[in-house]
Amino acid sequence: MRTLLSLGLLKGVIAGLAGTAVGMALTMVVRSALGYPAWQPDQVTLAGTLVGIPAYLAGVGAFSAWWGWVLGKGIEEPGGHHFWGWTRYFGADPNHKVIGIQYMATSLVVIAVAGIYQLIARLETSQPGLQFLSPDTYNSLMSLHGIMMLGAVLLGVSGMINYLVPLMIGARDMAFPRLNAFSYWITVPAVFLLLFALPAGGFDTGWTGYPPLSTKAPLGMQLMILAFYLVGWSSILGGVNFLATIMKMRAPGMGLFRMPIFVWTALATAFLQIVFTQFVGIAFLMVLLQRVLGLGFFDPAKGGNVLLFQHLFWLYSHPAVYIFVLPGLGVISEIVPVFSRKPLFGYRLVALSSFGIALQGAIVWGHHMFTAGIEEWLRIPFMVTTMLVAVPTGVKIFSWLATMWHGKISLDTPMLFALTAIAVFLVGGLTGIPNGIVPTDLYIHDTYWVVAHFHHTLFGGFVFPAMAAIYFWFPKVTGRLLNRGLGKLHWALMTVGFFVTYEPMFWLGLNGMRRRIADYDPALGLGPMNTVVSVAAYVIALSMLVFFVNLVASAWRGTRAPANPWRSRTLEWQLSSPPPEHNFPTPPQVLGSPYGFGIPGSVHAVVTPAGGAGEEKGGLGRVSSG
């Protein structure tokens, strides 16, 4: 009980709830004093969260270090904790490995909830006719599925980058460890807000929240906007941290072109997070002000412009899809060389391609608005810029193929997931072409074609790579191996489940199935195919169940992992599993490429093997040579 009460999370939640109640009560008092009815959902809850969130953060301890510094107490160096000391995962801890695990675990929880929402919604659409959900509930489940999944992806991306980047570049931690903890802890109330959104009436706008609909949607909309805000804030702060870490904290000898590709993708991601997130912040701020104070940004009757929101929204949300997928593509670039025992083909071009994608992604947002009525001529330049993405993504895919060609390929679980990811992402890219070419987009926009397309990009660019990453780095993170048999079962079920769920959606879209509908006309003849989709969706769910069982069972009972089970060359594998509290006792000396497989005498780095606590002896060599 004592331990439980000392958990930052619990203290935070209690303080947060109390703060919210105070904020709400105050607003209601002021409103009645002014002669208005006390209850006005949007204003009252907004004031509640504005008080509740800082109270929560104070309770968690996200401010304690800074507050101590203000009081002139100095900042105590954390450390000396044990990896398996579980309490540290429930409070503000500045260690990047702890934060990485916190992000990843939160992400998986949110993915599970969002997945369950859509599994319920899919039961409804498995046949024509309204089965058991009201259209209202369907819209809310579908919208929450979308926004929670995307939030979970942002968390997962931060998780992977947090855990891996400092290790891969030979740093002790992130550049700003306390800011890092802060960035994680502001996402937790976002998760709570999203969970509350359903009981608060949900919202019926989809994840995109277009006004005017979103200015009229129930209270759930406002909770979603606030959650979006917190996650966006976290994303910007995270980006600042990643950028500073990668630019300033690299070990001696780690030139930019000696960094693992994953670090390159993290750098491009950081750039996108810092530059673009504020656009969507402004867009939703305007919706919020229209809801709470009645301003007329998107109300034509008050001189507002409805399309303005879409421009601002996609100015972020298109680059955001690259925040979602670039780190995943980086993971593939790490895994393919290791399991092919060959250097990454065309390293420099692959490294730069991430920046190609990031820059290109900044000038294509109009392709989401081809049917929205932007200037007719403007559609042509947006079509051309959109098409350009084929070049840098092509570079990545062809490089992976060339890396495998004549390699010595072993199909361990991480590699299996990476290969499925390549196939799925490829289909996502190819089916995006008709969305980018204006006349065909006028046909397939807002249909299940689009639903199929973006699930291919998200599963291929994030979900499958994240699974690959978990199977690959789990031994490093926990010091234990994941069960192989269960891993392969998970892979087989998920791969088959994925293709059977999503390929039919292309056909559905072409044949008149609009997206975001609770029901469809039986005369369209779409029933049987929808049933196939729904059944297969449950196969994906089953595969995730196998995965969660494997995670828990292996973390608890799995075989002990050696330091470097996959014979990889990057820096994190030259440390014990799990790595020591502060990674490298002395900075490693980087001498060459991280992918020099088979090159005689090639060495990535020399790591001085001073023993940290729990240091594993007899790993497969601390100094990697070909």
CB closer to other proteins, 170 vs 211: 211
Measured from the CB atom, is 83 or 491 closer to other proteins?
Answer: 491
By a kind-dependent CB cut-off of 5 to 8 A, residue 318 interacts, out of ligand HEM, other proteins, Cu ion, none, with Cu ion
Burial class (CB in 10 A: 0-12, 13-18, 19+), 110: buried
Among 81, 484, 488, 514, binds other proteins (CB under 8 A): 514
Nearer to other proteins, 252 or 598 (CB): 598
* 119 bridge partner residues: none
Q: How far is CA 79 from the centre of its chain?
A: 28
Is 346 near other proteins (CB under 8 A)? yes
Considering only 213-221, 426-434, 509-517, 605-613, which stretch makes contact with ligand HEM by CB under 6 A? 509-517
Minimum separation from the CB atom of position 581 to Cu ion (A): 41
* DSSP secondary structure letters along 447-474: BHHHHHHHHHHHIIIIIHHHHHHHHHHH
Q: Which does 577 bind (CB under 5 to 8 A by kind): ligand HEM, Cu ion, other proteins, none?
A: none
Q: Give Cα 600 to chain centroid, integer Å.
A: 38
Distance of alpha carbon 435 from alpha carbon 441, whole angstroms: 5
Using alpha carbons, select from 51, 52, 78 the residue that is nearest to residue 64: 78
Residue whose CB is less far from ligand HEM, 382 or 448: 448
Q: 591 to 610, contacts with other proteins by CB under 8 A? A: 593, 595-599, 602
The Cα angle at residue 580 between residues 577 and 586, in degrees rounded to 5: 120
Mention every residue, 6+ apart, whose C-beta is less than 8 A from residue 429.
389, 390, 393, 457
Judged by CB under 8 A, the residue of 54, 201, 253, 512 near other proteins is: 512
Interaction of residue 516 with other proteins, rule CB under 8 A: yes
Residue 248's binding partner among other proteins, Cu ion, ligand HEM, none (Cβ under 5 to 8 angstroms by kind) is none
Return the residue matching tokens 């790591």: 607
The CB-of-447 to other proteins minimum distance in angstroms stands at 7
Query: Shortest distance, CB of residue 437 to other proteins, whole angstroms?
Result: 4
Of 173, 171, 184, the C-alpha closest to 78 is 173
User: What is the C-alpha to C-alpha distance for residues 272 and 322, in angstroms, rounded to an integer?
Assistant: 8
Helix (H, G, I), strand (E, B) or coil at 589: strand
Spell out, one character per residue from 535 to 564, where the chain touches ligand HEM: x when CB under 6 A holds, - when not: --x--xx-----------------------
Q: Decide whether 250 or 318 has the Cβ nearer to Cu ion.
A: 318
456, 423 Cβ separation under 8 angstroms: no
Q: Supply the minimum distance, in Å, between the C-beta of residue 499 and ligand HEM.
A: 13
Closest alpha carbon to 520 in 139, 117, 200, 125: 125
Alpha-carbon torsion, ordered 362, 367, 369, 370, to 10 deg? 150
Binding mask 291-320 for other proteins (x = CB under 8 A): ---------xx--xxxx-------------
Residues 404-423 that bind other proteins (CB under 8 A): 404-411, 419, 422-423
Could you give the angle at which helices 347-361 and 390-404 cross, rounded to 10 degrees?
A: 160
Find the binder of ligand HEM among 515, 569, 571, 573 (CB under 6 A). Answer: 515
Q: Using CB under 8 A, which of 17, 437, 529, 603 touches other proteins?
A: 437
- Site for ligand HEM, residues 459 to 488, rule: CB under 6 A: 462-463
Report what 455 binds from other proteins, Cu ion, ligand HEM, none; CB cut-off 5-8 Å by kind.
ligand HEM
Query: The dihedral of CA 376, 379, 380, 381: what is its sign?
Result: positive
- Is there binding between residue 268 and other proteins (CB under 8 A)? no
Q: How far apart are alpha carbons 604 and 623 in whole angstroms?
A: 8
Segment contacting ligand HEM by CB under 6 A, of 58-66, 141-149, 157-165, 361-369 = 141-149
d(CA 63, CA 54): 9
Q: Report d(CA 114, CA 59) in Å as an integer.
A: 27
Residue nearer to ligand HEM on the CB measure, 150 or 335:
150
Taken in order 39, 42, 47, 49, the sign of the CA dihedral is positive
Q: Which of 263, 265, 264, 190 is nearest to 233 (CA)?
A: 190
Which residue's beta carbon is nearest to the bound ligand HEM?
146
Report the DSSP beta bridge partners of residue 560: 480
Q: Is 342 in the site for Cu ion (CB under 5 A)?
A: no
Among 88, 96, 145, 250, binds ligand HEM (CB under 6 A): 145
Least distance CB 184 / ligand HEM (angstroms): 20
Residue 305 beta carbon to other proteins: minimum distance, rounded to whole angstroms:
7
Q: How far is the CB of 137 from ligand HEM (least distance, A)?
A: 12
Query: Binders of ligand HEM among 206-265, rule CB under 6 A?
Result: 206-208
Tokens of 75: 């900042």
Nearest-CA neighbor of 490 among 533, 553, 432?
553
Considering only residues 298 to 337 of the shown chain, the ones binding Cu ion according to CB under 5 A are: 318
Query: CB under 5 to 8 A by kind: which of Cu ion, other proteins, ligand HEM, none does 102 bind?
Result: none
| 105, 88 Cβ separation under 8 angstroms | no
Residue 142 contacts ligand HEM per CB under 6 A: yes
Residues in contact with Cu ion by CB under 5 A are 318
Residues in contact with ligand HEM by CB under 6 A are 115, 118, 122, 142-143, 145-146, 149-150, 153, 206-208, 451, 455, 458, 462-463, 501, 515-517, 537, 540-541
